[in-house]
Amino acid sequence: MASSSRGSRSPAGTVVGATHSYRMHVSQRYLDLTKRKLELARLPREPHNAHSNPNLGITKSKLEPIIDHWLEDYDWRREEASFNENLPQFRAVINGTRLHFVHRRSNAPNAIPLLFVHGFPEGFITIGSVIEMLCAPVNTPPGGDESVPAFHVVCPSIPGFGFSDPLPEEGNAIPTTAAIFDALMKSLGYGQYMVHGSGWGFKICRMLAIGHSDSCVAIHTVNPDVPPPRPSFGYGQENMMASSGMQSPALPSPVAGSPVLPGVFTHTTERPQTMSYALCDSPSGLLAYVLDLIHPQAYTPRRVTHKAALYRRPSNWAITRALGHQPRSSIGP
């Protein structure tokens, strides 16, 4: 649902349409269909060593209680109303791609423009837990204080996720996404800005820093993606181990020895369309997939404070059909 359009300025080389305010509204028919599918969920039989071997994936004992909660207690309308109330959302068409984003300006006089790029499996709703602290830090005096910075926050949904359309191109879409995000910031009046991202968001941040250094003046991340040294640089992994005194008769190959997160770097990247049929049609399957990508501590029963976020993520994904769009995005895993 869109309303109250306003104009936007286009940076050179891009086509930016008018920006419209946006409010989530998922049809009741779709919510009812999701509930029926949850009621009819048929879970597979567990192997005998499922609880003793975490490499097999999420167990029924962790999945079933969350399915029950989603079916019986989870209230999407309440979440939807909360998102609409607390996250100022907009849509704009940039170079032919309809982009959904959150934009909130700070009242601080020296606020810094911040482009917040979500990762995977997180979506734009991640910004909801920190946007107030970023825009209005509790220790900032009314006249502003450079030692306690505040931010104008822009958090777009990566194309193909949330309420953003997928990109039409095939292959590596990270440079295109970075260009669209840079055009978005400039259209909002932010000629220079800093950017935060982690995971796939960091890859986009890095491309912004490389290709748009005139406007992207700083990047921040919590988990930079730094590959090990390569022999082509004249300094390989074995040199690092030797210099530190580590003893290793043989280094495992990346294929044989590196842990690979289930489904992320294999089917989801190489054959995403095949996987999307199952995940788009089955809310319980999508829930299991998302939970298996989240750090195990996040869905440990003792960590009660994490449950609301767990229910929110897969529900939002299923309702917006994010993974159904993903194959053409080529951004995420």
Confidence of residue 296 (pLDDT cuts 50, 70, 90): low
Residue 305 — pLDDT band, cuts 50, 70, 90?
very low
Structure tokens at 1: 């649902």
Averaged pLDDT for residues 76-97: 92
Q: What is the predicted pLDDT for the residue at 6? A: 47
Domain ranges of the chain: 25-42+53-79+254-325, 87-228
Mean pLDDT of 77-102: 93
What CA–CA distances, in Å, run from 62 to 51, 59, 66, 307, 318? 10, 6, 7, 12, 19
- pLDDT of 295 above 80: no
Which pTM was predicted? 0.77
| 208: confidence class by pLDDT, cuts 50, 70, 90 | very high
- For residue 177, what pLDDT is reported? 94
Torsion angle, CA of 10/14/15/16, rounded to 10 degrees? -50
Q: Please state, in angstroms and rounded to a whole number, the distance separating the CA atoms of residues 121 and 279.
A: 13
Do 67 and 311 meet the contact criterion of CB atoms below 8 Å apart? Answer: no
Cβ neighbour number for residue 67 with a 10 Å cutoff: 19
Mean pLDDT of 58-69: 87
Contact 279, 37 (CB under 8 A): no
Contact 310, 294 (CB under 8 A): yes
Distance of CA 240 to the CA centre of its chain: 33
Q: What is the mean pLDDT of residues 7-27?
A: 74
User: Which residue shows structure tokens 């991202």?
Assistant: 197
107-159 tens-digit pLDDT: 988 899 999 999 877 788 889 889 999 998 876 556 556 667 899 999 999 99
In the numeric block, which tokens belong to residue 26?
């998922």
Class of 87-228 in CATH: alpha beta
- Average pLDDT taken over every residue of the chain: 77
CA angle 5, 8, 10 (to 5 degrees): 150
Distance of CA 190 to the CA centre of its chain: 22
> Residue 314's pLDDT is what?
58
Beta strands in the chain (DSSP E): 2-6, 19-22, 89-94, 97-104, 112-117, 151-156, 193-197, 216-220
The pLDDT assigned to 142 comes to 62
CA distance 134 to 148: 10
**Which residue(s) pair with 196 in the sheet?**
116, 220
**Long-range contacts of 305-312, Cβ-Cβ distance < 8 Å, separation of 24 or more:** 307/66, 307/69, 309/129, 310/66, 311/66, 311/69, 311/70, 311/74, 312/79, 312/125
pLDDT at 319: 59
Does residue 184 contact residue 105 with C-beta atoms inside 8 Å?
no
